[in-house]
Structure 1
Amino acid sequence: MHFADFAAGSIGGALGVFVGYPLDTVKVRLQTQRHYKGLWHCVHSIYKTERLSGFFKGVSMPVSTVSVSSSVAFGTYRNCLQCIQQFRYGSGDARPAHLDFFLSGLAAGSAQVVVMSPADVVKVRLQTQTQPEHAVQGSTANVKVKYQGPLHCMATIVREEGVFGLYRGAHAMMLKDGPSFATYFLTYNIFCEWLTPAGQKQPEWSGVLLAGGCAGTCAWGLATPMDVIKARLQADGLGKRRYNGVVNCITQSARQEGARVFFKGLGLNCARAFPVNMVVFATYEMVLKLIP
């Protein structure tokens, strides 16, 4: 088993959170709340009402859990890939086919949902809670926020919705992350092949950065429609319950807002994905080189 991949994925994922979290908050708000007129209106509204801290609501939960989920994803991917190589070619060192990358990525995306779903629900609930932070403690505040932090949010969800409330939207998350991670790892390896100079086994660091950024952008381009549904299902519970499941959420969203609702946040997702996954893959490859 390749334990180095678990460690490298953990560090890369954690660093990626810091790079992309503010844009992730904006994306979640756009996907789940209709009163924003567009990207810049959303950014301005968050800053005006909640200041800079509003862009980092719920960040402590992803920082503490993304390292685990990324470890699971990258570790599952590498070990699954080795098993496929061993099964199909008789050696773990054999050159994988594109299908091998795709299937390993599919397994990685599916595996990390089990770990990531509770943290993602908490993150989305905190991101869609629009009251400023001072409302929690300020004696002059007219409105008390429902969730007073990640642990309080998690405890409240379990108390009100049961343990399975932490897995609200997990089916949509599985439908999103399985195909998107398959695309993610496949695209990364294809770009690495294209960018590797003749006579070398790996691309230069500039090639790794470009391949990582492109892989993230392609994966999020595919994932965005189901990401909208996932976010809406996860946010459902902060107020009045609106959706009965994945299919009901899809039909209601399409009927009320048209087909373009499934592409809310597409540009933002792709813009965020490029720098985030440059950092993730560059860190991943660097840590692998440092670990014997």
Structure 2
Amino acid sequence: MDFVAGAIGGVCGVAVGYPLDTVKVRIQTEPKYTGIWHCIRDTYHRERVWGFYRGLSLPVCTVSLVSSVSFGTYRHSLAHICQLRYGSPDAKPSKADVALSGYASGLVRVFLTSPTEVAKVRLQTQTQAQKQQRRLSASGPSAVPPVCPAPPACPEPKYRGPLHCLATVAREEGLRGLYKGSSALLLRDGHSFATYFLSYAILCERLSPAGHSQPDVLGVLVAGGCAGVLAWAVATPMDVIKSRLQADGQGQRRYRGLLHCMVTSVREEGPRVLFKGLVLNCCRAFPVNMVVFVAYEAVLRLTQGLLT
């Protein structure tokens, strides 16, 4: 039932956090934005509310599978580690056991999430890529400002939707294109999920009432929210690099790989660039992971009650 509970929790989390995720990606990939509110105002002014939900359909379709695998892998890894170390899958795990299981969960999800992350980032940043292409086409020998006499003359969006985006990337860039930025994604998710599950376990232990092994609903809300914030604090530097590598397939290529992207970004924008979107990630992570863990624990307790 860990897989089912994880799937339901993941869908609830996406429903809460996707608009801020769009803002986060745009801040990380577009230097023109000076802050969160600047990006929100600009996105709403140009694209209205729909602009915050670009690329949503694919994450909604896949998040149940990804979240299910994440939580299921964590629980099963923890049970196997406890079986090997203590002779019983139900033995109390150490903090190192929890962190190792969380790390395994992060590594496994990369193979599922990389293609969807590529499509999500490309769709979220498509408007900026179109504007760059228009500026490039207008900088030719003609000094006349670009005029769009009729709608058909305007550049059409390169990607018409998530599935079209995936098909286009696979055709133009091959299988490697679908896994672009996966090295940064591995570094991001491995460490962040180790932090995620470890901090959640520690906080649940601290917030559990005397004589109880689990916290109440308020304790789960606090533990889940704080775990999400801590995980994103660890993940943000690699998340910035991942987003830039995945968005790099639109127009002229800038980055040759993870290290080149990191060095170039820091040289051009300073070390602070690695923490672009940190505040937004943390603000988004708290309510999203409150919902994720409350839904996850509620489903687990419900199924356990039905089976007993």
Give the Cα separation in 1 of the matches to 2:128 and 2:158.
9
1:254 matched to 2:251? The reply is no
1:151: Cα distance to partner?
0.9
Q: Normalising to structure 2: TM-score of the pair?
A: 0.90
| 2:287 equivalent in structure 1 | 275
1:93: Cα distance to partner?
1.1
1:266 matched to 2:266? The reply is no
Residue among 36, 40, 61 paired with 1:39: 36
| 1:28 equivalent in structure 2 | 25
1:107 matched to 2:104? The reply is yes
Structure 1 counterpart SS, 2:127:
coil
| 1:65 equivalent in structure 2 | 62
Q: Gapped runs of 5+ residues in structure 1?
A: 133-137
Give the Cα separation in 2 of the matches to 1:131 and 1:88.
52
| 1:135 equivalent in structure 2 | none
Alignment RMSD (CA, Å): 1.5
Structure 2 counterpart SS, 1:162:
helix
Q: Gapped runs of 5+ residues in structure 2?
A: 130-149
Give the Cα separation in 2 of the matches to 1:228 and 1:90.
42
1:142: Cα distance to partner?
2.1
Residue among 221, 228, 234 paired with 2:233: 221
1:93 matched to 2:105? The reply is no
Give the Cα separation in 2 of the matches to 1:289 and 1:195.
18
Q: Deviations over 1:56-84 (max 9, x none)?
A: 00000111111111111100000000001
Give the Cα separation in 2 of the matches to 1:13 and 1:156.
27
Q: Normalising to structure 1: TM-score of the pair?
A: 0.95
| 2:251 equivalent in structure 1 | 239
1:25: Cα distance to partner?
0.2
Structure 1 counterpart SS, 2:126:
coil
1:143: Cα distance to partner?
2.6
Percent identity of the aligned residues?
A: 61
1:194 matched to 2:206? The reply is yes
1:160 matched to 2:176? The reply is no
1:238: Cα distance to partner?
1.4
Give the Cα separation in 2 of the matches to 1:174 and 1:81.
20
Give the Cα separation in 2 of the matches to 1:130 and 1:39.
17
| 1:286 equivalent in structure 2 | 298
Structure 2 counterpart SS, 1:94:
coil
Give the Cα separation in 2 of the matches to 1:183 and 1:65.
23
Structure ID, larger Rg: 2
1:248: Cα distance to partner?
0.6
Q: Deviations over 1:199-239 (max 9, x none)?
A: 01110000000000000000000100000000000101112
Give the Cα separation in 2 of the matches to 1:131 and 1:117.
22
Structure 1 segment 172-187 matched on structure 2, within 5 A: 172-187=184-199
Give the partner amino acid of 1:128: T
